[in-house]
Amino acid sequence: MAMEDEAQIMLISPADPKGSPVKDQQAAGVGILLQIMMLVLSFVLGHVLRRHRLYFLPEASASLLIGLIVGGLANISNTETNIRAWFNFHEEFFFLFLLPPIIFQSGFSLSPKPFFSNFGAIVTFAILGTFIASVVTGGLVYLGGLAFLMYRLPFVECLMFGALISATDPVTVLSIFQELGTDVNLYALVFGESVLNDAMAISLYRTMSLVRSHAYSGKNFFFVIVRFLETFVGSLSAGVGVGFTSALLFKYAGLDIDNLQNLECCLFFVLFFSQTTDASNGYIAPYNDEGSSRSRIKMKLKEFHESTASFTALNRNYLTPFFKSRSGDDEEDDNSIPIRGS
C-alpha cells in the first residue's frame, strides 16, 4: 500500500517531467505565443501585399506559406513533443471556436439587396451545380479506378470524395474582386454560391456516408432522399427560425431600458453558438441566423461598442469607424461589397 502511495506521489510530483503541469503550461505558453506571432505576421504580410499591389501572391496563400514554413521548422527542430503538439490541427477547436465567427462575419457583412435579388441564380449554382459537379467527379474517379489509373474505390465512396472536392471556396477570388471593385451582382453570385455550396456538400457527404454505413438498396432510395432533405431544409429552417426569434427578442424584450447592452450581446452569442452545437444543422444554419437578424444585431453591436469604447484609446481610434460604417442605411449596402472571413 505504501509503495502504491509513493508511486502516485511520483506521478504528480513537480520533479517528474511527465506528470508535471509546469511543463505543460510552459509548452502551452510557447505554442500560443508562436501562434499569435504567426497571426500578426500574416496580418502584416497581407497589409504589405495590399499596399504594394502584389497580386501574384494572394493574402490567403501568404498565410498558408507562413504556416507551412513554421510547421516544417517545428517538425525538423529539436522542439519538445508537447510544444509541437500545439501546431497540430485540432478539428474540434476549428469547428467549435474558429468556424462560427467566420460564419457570423459572412452573414453580418452580407449586402442583402444584391444577394436576394440574385437568390435564384445563387441557389441554382449552389445546389444544382454542386450536385452535378459531385456526381461527375465521383463518376470519373470510379471510372479511373476501373481503368486502373488510380486506386479503385466503391462507387459510394467515390461520390463521397466528389462531394468533398466539389465545394470550392473562392477566398482569393473574392479578395481580388474586392480590391478591383467589381460589380456587386457578380460578387453576390460568387459569394452566395461559395456559402451555400458548403451546406450542399455537407448534406451530400452525410447522405452518402449514411448509404455506405447502412448499405441501402434501391428500395430505400426514398429514405435517402428524406434524410438529405432533413439535413438541408432542416438546417435552413433552424437558422431562419432562430434568426427571426432573436430579432424579435432583441426588439421587444426591453433590455435597452436599463442599459443592458452587454447582456444583449451575450444573449446573441448564446443564440448563435446554439446553432453550432446541433450536428444536424450543418453549415447553413448559423449563416441564415446572421442573415435574418442582421439589422437588429447591427444596432446592438453598435450600442455595445458605444457602451465600452471608453475603456481604451484603441477602441476609439480603430473600432468606432468600423461600427459606424456598418450602421449605415440599407441603401448604402447596395454599393458595398461584403468581406468573407477566411
- pLDDT, tens digit, for every residue of 84-111? 676 677 777 777 777 777 777 776 777 7
pLDDT tens for the chain, 342 residues long, are 445 554 544 444 444 445 467 777 877 787 788 888 988 998 899 888 888 888 788 787 888 898 888 888 877 776 666 666 766 777 777 777 777 777 777 767 777 788 888 888 988 988 899 899 999 999 999 999 999 888 899 998 999 999 888 887 777 777 778 777 788 888 888 888 887 887 788 888 888 887 887 655 555 667 777 777 777 777 777 777 777 777 777 777 766 666 666 777 777 677 766 665 554 454 554 454 444 445 555 555 555 444 444 444 444 444 444 444 444 444 444 444 444 444
- Give the tens place of pLDDT for each residue, 187-212: 888 888 887 887 788 888 888 887 88
Q: Under a CB-based contact definition with an 8 Å cutoff, are residues 216 and 224 in contact?
A: yes
pTM, rounded to two decimals:
0.61
Domain ranges of the chain: 1-88, 96-332
3-state SS of 123-192 is HHHHHHHHHHHHHHHHHHHHHHHHCCCCCCCCHHHHHHHHHHHHCCCCHHHHHHHHHHCCCHHHHHHHHH
User: Percent of the chain scored above 70 by pLDDT?
Assistant: 64
- Sequence-distant contacts of 48-53: CB under 8 A, at least 24 apart: 50/179
